[in-house]
Amino acid sequence: MTIQQATEYTHTTVLLNEAVDALGISGERANGIYIDGTFGRGGHSRLILQQLGPQGRLIAFDKDAQAIASAAEISDPRFHIVHDSFAAMTAALEELGVSQVDGILMDLGISSPQVDDASRGFSFRSDGPLDMRMDTSRDMSAAEWLAVEEEEKIREVIKNYGEERFAFQIAKAIVARRQTESITGTRQLAELVAHAVKTREKGKDPATRTFQAIRIFVNKELEDLEIGLDAAFAALSPFGRMSVISFHSLEDRIVKQFFASKVKLEQPDRRLPIRHVDLPQAQMRLLNRIKPSEAEVVANPRARSAILRIAERLPEVVK
């Protein structure tokens, strides 16, 4: 496990060795092309580069300008960084002249430097501007969205993306408060939510689910994930592998269902006169599901909810 430095904030890469080992970078595959869909502070990317052969290539993606600045410290000619979401993978690879890749790693969610830097507005633990954007040059901040969105939509976002049972009360409180003052700070929103939530889960701040929901919505995280998974599968060469780390149930459900859709294809009615070779064939096979060890969770509590899912693309059956 390595610790990456980003200004004064540090980030411990979760499931570092497990996620990279899952790509199977060895032998002839060491000179292949790989993608790190979420560069972050470069923990996975740096380990991939250590394992690549001289002809290998690594293409990384990230929406966060601070992550792009961190990537600029890597002078390896085999490395290329794209300032965009992995949802833009198809267009980016086409522009780079890449048709297929040998492995793709996607580390979802939010990094420790983003959470720990109060100026980013992701955390309710310290006061800061209510921004929450991973790419601060695009789209609306959380504060801007909350200032104009209808109550019903706010309720829907908090309920669906935060799985918050007090979404109705929280949305109502937000709309009522903005009639008298703008909601522009993280602590301001956290205190408002705390007053609206009637009961609290033991050991969890009442604002946790609301902050998660707004962050996911503002950054289009689930939409990007669905697009990114499709793009990743399309780019994978036969026997190419996907290694995906998720940190909460909504992400993991999408990843799990995506892999399942490629493993178990819908079969036609058995009574129809269809040759066996013409039946739909599995497009991927599941290789593993890994959770952090107890030792890793003790060393890095933020790893406790991580789940790594690994799958391999199968070659098409020649008919």
Instruction: List beta partners, residue 36.
Output: 60, 105
Query: Token pair 């009615």 is at which residue?
Result: 269
pLDDT at 182: 96
Whether residue 202 is found in the same domain as residue 247: no
pLDDT at 219: 94
Residue 225 in domain: yes
Residue 118 in domain: no
Residue 228 among known ligand-binding residues: no
pLDDT at 271: 56
Domain end call among 164, 187, 218:
218
pLDDT at 200: 75
pLDDT at 10: 60
Q: What is the pTM of this model?
A: 0.88
Whether residue 148 is found in the same domain as residue 225: no
The whole-angstrom distance between residue 112's C-alpha and the CA centroid of its chain comes to 13
Residue 107 among known ligand-binding residues: yes
Residue 103 among known ligand-binding residues: no
Give residue 304's domain range: 3-112+221-313
Please report which residue ranges of the chain form alpha helices under DSSP H. 16-21, 43-51, 65-71, 89-95, 112-116, 142-148, 151-162, 167-177, 186-196, 208-218, 221-235, 249-263, 294-299
What phi and psi values does residue 150 have, to the nearest 5 degrees?
Answer: -70, 150
- What's the average pLDDT block by block, 10 residues per block, for the chain (319 residues)? 40 91 96 96 96 98 94 97 97 97 93 77 86 91 97 98 95 97 96 89 86 95 97 97 95 96 69 54 93 94 93 80
Residue 114 among known ligand-binding residues: yes
313: nearest Cα among 234, 225, 252, 224? 234
pLDDT at 264: 78
Residue 116 among known ligand-binding residues: no
H/E element holding 148? helix 142-148
| Domains in the chain, number | 2
